[in-house]
Amino acid sequence: MPSTLEGQITMEKTPSYFVTNHAPKRIHSMARDIKLIIVVRNPVTRAISDYTQTLSKKPEIPTFEVLAFKNRTLGLIDASWSALRIGIYALHLESWMQYFPLSQMHFVSGERLIVDPAGEMAKVQDFLGLKRIVTDKHFYFNKTKGFPCLKKPEDSSTPRCLGKSKGRTHPKIDPDVIRRLHKFYKPFNMMFYQMTGQNFEWELEGDNESRSSQD
């Protein structure tokens, strides 16, 4: 990490830190007072997005439905598949809580980050002890990508949007598979809500999908 002067904040982003077993200990030994920001989203949606990214690079891979189950007839989910294992957030958080208190962690809702980026960024700035400089005037919603883009209100430069790898259309997944995955994740989600003191309301999405698939 680069040297940080007084009054500066150095930030670094690597998604795999959260799910890498030895990362908490190594980061703690480097900077035990560090502040950690973790962005999470509905683990079912996250798994489908993960699969979509892989599919774009390896179109020959099996279908999502095949990879998600050890035995679909028996309903045995393959939790060893990384796309699904990453979404067991409570399991990963346990490792981090062995080294860091919750007061040094801030959890960002991936869903709310899309619909209310300024609101989520306000919480992040508060967590980091910064003035709320980034506000709603710094964002506009890109309908093509389905994500908010960042703009500088003080100039007319081109807004910065997420790259080509983001905002891809997800393949259509069997509704029964989605329902089974919501059921699989529910106890882990509940544990995660309890650990963080936040309810991300992912079960509401699952209930809505279940009802629509039954119509």
pLDDT digits (tens, 9 = 90+) for 12-28: 999 899 999 999 999 99
pLDDT reported for residue 211: 41
Alpha-carbon distance 193 to 187, whole Å? 10
Alpha-carbon distance 72 to 85, whole Å? 17
Please name the residue that has the structure tokens 């089974």. Answer: 180
Confidence tier at 212 by pLDDT (50, 70, 90): very low
Structural domain boundaries in the chain: 15-165+175-199
Alpha-carbon distance 111 to 117, whole Å? 9
166 annotated to a ligand binding site: yes
Nearest to 53 by CA among 20, 15, 109, 12: 15
Amino acid at 169: T
List, for residues 34-85, the tens digit of each pLDDT value.
999 999 999 999 999 999 999 999 999 999 999 999 998 898 999 999 999 9
Nearest to 107 by CA among 47, 7, 18, 10: 18
List, for residues 124-141, the tens digit of each pLDDT value.
999 999 999 999 888 888
Counting Cβ atoms within 10 Å, is residue 23 exposed (0-12), middle (13-18) or buried (19+)?
middle
211 annotated to a ligand binding site: no
Name the token pair of 35: 């502040």
Distances (CA, A) of 72 to 16, 29, 82, 107: 28, 43, 18, 33
87 annotated to a ligand binding site: no
List, for residues 179-197, the tens digit of each pLDDT value.
999 999 999 999 999 999 9
Alpha-carbon distance 11 to 2, whole Å? 10
168 annotated to a ligand binding site: yes
Counting Cβ atoms within 10 Å, is residue 10 exposed (0-12), middle (13-18) or buried (19+)?
exposed
212 annotated to a ligand binding site: no
Please name the residue that has the structure tokens 């279908």. Answer: 63
Write down the CATH superfamily of domain 15-165+175-199.
P-loop containing nucleotide triphosphate hydrolases (3.40.50.300)
